[in-house]
Structure 1
Amino acid sequence: MIKTADPRRLGLPAPEARLRFDTELQEIGGGPRRRLLMVDDEPAFELSFYCGTCPLLFRRLEGARETLSLERVQERLTGPLDEPDDGGVIEAFGALLPEGEYLPLLLSVEPRLIIPGKEGDYFSGEQVATWGVDQFWGLPQYPQTPYYRTFETVVDADAHLYEFVVPMVPPTRNERERVKEYVALMKEGTVPTAVAISTLDVCQPALDLGDDPSAHWGLTHFLLDGHHKLEAAATAARPVRLLSLLALGESLAGAEDCARLPALRARSRSARTTTGVVGPNDGRSSR
């Protein structure tokens, strides 16, 4: 299930918004520019580099230490939203965001919790197949957080879409009783709604460093509200709805790529397979 609304301008001027995108130098006097998602003026996540040829990245930093739930819309989010505009949720969360153009997407997701380096990890699976390991460290990229995989599908023969939901705080910080409450509700048929600010980064290696030199379309949802819901859904193998506010001006994707996203997200789920290259799910569709 996917529903979308027209792109709209949301948010506050960057100095007034709790979230904003920024860049900084890694070290005084030089070094590659880091692309960052900031929370309360502190770096919360390091994102893919601007070049578009480096590997896809979301790396949790010290500034990601709390959720951004809004009490006034909690009751509305306990159940499913039927439309992206339903209940004034977009406007409520828009007050947290940096001013810009956003594409609202209402998605149904079935999250699968991933621990970096373990089974199903994108960074040590599909990413290594394309870029190889980090040339300096000799290891895969490390996101410094558990995350959820929710969807993937074919873009074309040389490109694949990968979708992730990234929590602001790890599931170990969630309250156990609230997770159990949501598990029980989901088993009774409730489908709650989570909210995220999202980016679409299209990354393709400049050199053939791995066995599968394809383009990776990374749709990454940074979770604002719904941390307990996502863990409960992963535990109970149940769906949740996700209201994604895709930051068009902050994504490493052109306008045409972003415009294709709703149609791509409506396709059947399919893992990336090539001759001699099979993803960590052995060619089976992931949940």
Structure 2
Amino acid sequence: MSKLLSYKEIRISSSTSPIEYKQAGYRQRYLAIEGKEIANTGIDCETCLFYAEASGMDMKNATKISNKLNQGIHTLDQDFMSDLSCLIPNGHYIATLLKVYPRVKREAYGTEYYKAGLRNISSMKKMEEYIVPIQSSESLNPIALNDYIERVNVEETPTALSISFLDIKYPLNHFDEIWVYSHFLLDGHHKMFAADKAQKPITLLSFLSIDESFASKKQIDKLFQVLT
């Protein structure tokens, strides 16, 4: 189960990120680059360097961001939040620093994701938390993976980066509401898989989109009460 370390509401208005949001159909939402869908983030269904390069960002600054995430962050520093505008699309967010304990799950048809927590909000409401990779574990570099496993085994906590959403589902039975809190990884695929292998936590810097979530502001505010 994830543990909330810190959060801050922010707006990004001068982003150079190549990533954009794309909605299609009822409660369907995608992350896209130049119109090409890279991840379905709807509820019915060491990459930061790549994104920075695609945005035209100076690679010296991009490497600085990557290095800081690899070292692990402990506070939501405003200067670093500003640096990340090369990766996060314009919008209204709550920047959230979490400690996560990822546990990888694989579906029979090959889909991978991480379970990060399950909480009861009330007797008829529950929250499920997931971390969703864009890159498959089979494509990970084994040398980099082993390096991160060694690091988390000696209690280092590198930081992964995600765009996140809170989506409210209304099932037909058992629960009145299921709150799906999903983190789509922009950076940290090796870190997350290593944390699962080592059975150790890492930190996750999550930009929760207020604009794009299928949830009200009141429900988003309740989320942080539940996480605290």
| Letter of the structure 2 residue corresponding to residue 165 of structure 1 | I
Q: Does 1:104 align with 2:95?
A: yes
Q: 1:11 to 1:114 in 2, by over 3 A?
A: farther
- Name the counterpart of 1:195: 161
Match of 2:40 in 1: 46
Going from structure 1 to structure 2, the CA distance change for 1:223 and 1:47 (only over 3 Å counts) comes to closer
CA distance in 2, matches of 1:106, 1:4: 5
Percent of pairs with identical residues = 26
Q: Which runs of 5+ in 1 are unaligned?
A: 26-31, 49-55, 59-65, 118-141, 267-287
Q: Tell me how far 1:90 sits from its aligned partner.
A: 2.2
- Residue identity matched to 2:18: R
Measured on the aligned residues, the alpha-carbon RMSD in Å equals 2.2
In terms of fraction of residues, the more strand-rich structure is 2
Match of 1:285 in 2: none
**C-alpha distance in structure 2 between counterparts of 1:189 and 1:265, whole Å:** 23
Partner of 2:147: 181
Moved over 6 A (4+): none
Q: Which residue does the alignment assign to 2:6?
A: 4
Task: Work out the number of aligned pairs and report it.
Answer: 214
What are the Cα deviations for residues 223-266 of structure 1, in whole angstroms up to 9, with x where unaligned? 01111000000000000000000010000010011112222123
Question: TM-score, normalised to structure 2's length?
Answer: 0.85
Whole-Å Cα distance in 2 between the matches of residues 84 and 219 of structure 1?
20
Q: 1:33 to 1:147 in 2, by over 3 A?
A: closer
Q: Specify the structure having the higher radius of gyration (Cα).
A: 1
* CA–CA separation in structure 2 for the residues paired with 1:222 and 1:89: 20
Structure 2 equivalent of residue 93 of structure 1: 84
> Is the Cα contact below 8 Å between 1:199 and 1:246 reproduced in 2?
yes
Which one has a larger percent helix, Structure 1 or Structure 2? 2
Distance 1:183 1:43, change over 3 A: same
**Aligned amino acid, residue 184 of structure 1:** E
Report the AA paired with residue 233 of structure 1.
Answer: A
Aligned equivalent of 2:192, options 230, 244, 258: 230
Please tell me whether residue 254 in structure 1 is matched to residue 219 in structure 2: no
The equivalent position to 1:216 in structure 2, one of 145, 157, 178, is 178
Q: 1:45 to 1:75 in 2, by over 3 A?
A: closer
Answer whether contact 1:4 1:262 (CA < 8 A) is retained.
Answer: no
Give the TM-score, by structure 1 length: 0.68
8 Å Cα contact 2:168-2:215 kept in structure 1: yes
